[in-house]
Amino acid sequence: MIYLCIKGAHRENNIMNLETILALCMGMFCLLYLAYTIFKPEEF
């Protein structure tokens, strides 16, 4: 998933778009991490 975000960011040559895409990727990663901790708390 992170690879796809970086790949999409490289396609856009604008630095503002790069920052926006990276911010969205970090947000998605945080949401997935929260979902994982909520649904599988004992697997850590």
Number of compact structural domains in the chain: 1
Note the pTM of the prediction, 2 decimals: 0.49
Beta carbons of 5 and 22 less than 8 angstroms apart: yes
Measuring CA to CA, which residue among 30, 32, 10 is closest to residue 21?
10
Give the structural domain span for 22: 2-43
Confidence check: pLDDT of 1 > 70: no
The per-residue pLDDT for range 13-39, each reduced to its tens digit, is 556 677 888 888 899 999 999 888 888
